Chain A
Amino acid sequence: MWQTVTFWVLAGVAVAAGVAVFRVASMARATYALAVSFVAVGLALVVVGLDYLGIVTVLMMVMEMAVMAVYMVMFMMNPGGLMPMSMVHSPRGAAGLAAGTFVMLSAAAVGVPWPDRSRAVSGDATAALGGAIMGSQMLVMMLVGALLFATIVATVVLAARATRYDRLGRDLRAARRAGPSARNARGPHDPRVDGAAGQVTS
């Protein structure tokens, strides 16, 4: 009984917070509303028995939203919401599509004759997950680890400002093409020595 009540309370909080993300004028509040939605979903996962995944969701999403709040302040023109403005396009079309999506998914959820549970929940789900990660599903975890490493490299490459190698061009030969006079006039390590077109120079 308490599980059902707790779940529905958390579900209401998650949906309400999700709506609040796109209703509040302050971007910081929108970020925290999304964090509340994720925390509610994480706790709902704990209620259904997925302790580890629920706690991981809560921890990760709180940190992600903290980072997102910083990005909000960095890039958005009205992070505090002091000047309420509407920054949407095609709101009616989007609302219609969203409503249609909800109707279709709900109809499928209610109408599909779901089978009975294949087996009972036995033992500790977290221990079972740990055993799977270290055993039969280790390849999946190794691939996820490699994927996350690739993501780190990609994000640094994309987000980094022009580095010391950009002055040499894509083929690393721009300094040679510029000629010795250009190099001598400005010094061999001057980042402005650049013979390739379109290179970002400092």
Chain B
Amino acid sequence: MTLQGLLVVAAALFAIGVYGALSQQSIVMVMMGLELMINGVLLAGGGFWAFLAPTPQVQVALLVVISAMTVEMALGFAVTVLLYRSREVDMVDMATDLSG
């Protein structure tokens, strides 16, 4: 187990999340892609802590990342509920009012 190997795994998770966030039509599936990206960031942060700087500050930074993930999830679902209630829309292709 090396830092490079751990970072490659984290990069794989991040890339899978990028694919999901870009390709999925459903809002919930896009959010799952975003969650996978943050999953990769968490793993990379853990690797940096273990192999570069095993300090409490890095752990606090990872706690902030986990909190950011929680906030993103909560607000994303709230917006999803609002969109569905107002227009019965659950796909990103039907919520493109701000594009162009």
Chain A interface residues (CB < 8 Å from chain B):
3-4, 7-8, 11, 14-15, 18-19, 21-22, 27, 30-31, 34, 37-38, 41, 44-45, 47-50, 52-54, 56-57, 60, 64, 67-68, 71-72, 75-77, 87-91, 93-95, 97-99, 101-102, 105-106, 109-110, 114-115, 117-122, 125, 128-129, 131-133, 136-137, 140-141, 144, 147-148, 151-152, 154-156, 158-159, 161
Q: Determine whether the beta carbon of B66 is less than 8 Å from that of A53.
A: yes
Given that A21-B36, A121-B50 are known contacts, is A154 also in contact with B4, CB under 8 Å in the complex?
A: no
Interface residues of A, dominant DSSP = helix
Interface residues of B, dominant DSSP = helix
Q: Mark B1-33, 1 if CB is under 8 A from A, else 0.
A: 101111111111111111110111111110111
Q: Determine whether the beta carbon of B53 is less than 8 Å from that of A37.
A: no
Minimum CB–CB distance for A33 against chain B, Å:
9
| B74: chain A residues within 8 A (beta carbon) | 151-152, 155
| B5: chain A residues within 8 A (beta carbon) | 8, 11
Q: Determine whether the beta carbon of A137 is less than 8 Å from that of B54.
A: no
Most interface-central of B4, B15, B25, B43 (chain A CB within 10 A): B15
